[in-house]
């Protein structure tokens, strides 16, 4: 399919450089790069969302509500 495509200057320069480097025609480079981008996007959409597992960071019984008291105890008064 033929179509007119307006490329940003930096994108066109990178595509031209890739065409020179690979020896492939510009049209093939554009199609290959578009396919790669579309495939990456499709793969990313199919991945499950990244989850962080909660784990205990303090000692058993540690009260995070009193962390400022602990800081003052360790290093002196802290002005909030």
- pLDDT: is 61 or 18 the higher one? 18
What would the mean pLDDT of 50-66 be, rounded to a whole number? Answer: 68
Q: pLDDT tens across 2-52, in order?
A: 899 999 999 999 999 999 999 999 999 999 999 999 998 888 888 888 777
Does position 78 have pLDDT exceeding 60, yes or no?
Answer: no
Please say whether the beta carbons of 18 and 33 come within 8 A: yes
Cβ contact 64:58 at 8 Å: yes
Taking the whole predicted model, whether its pTM rises above 0.75 is answered as no
Q: Which of 14, 3, 61 is CA-nearest to residue 37?
A: 14
């Amino acid at each position: 399919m033929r179509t007119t495509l307006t490329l940003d200057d930096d994108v066109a320069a990178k595509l031209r450089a890739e065409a020179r480097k690979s020896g492939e025609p510009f049209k093939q480079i554009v199609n290959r790069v578009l396919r790669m981008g579309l495939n990456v996007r499709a793969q990313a959409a199919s991945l499950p969302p990244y989850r962080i597992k909660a784990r205990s960071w303090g000692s058993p019984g540690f009260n995070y509500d009193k962390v400022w008291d602990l800081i003052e105890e360790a290093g002196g008064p802290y002005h909030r």
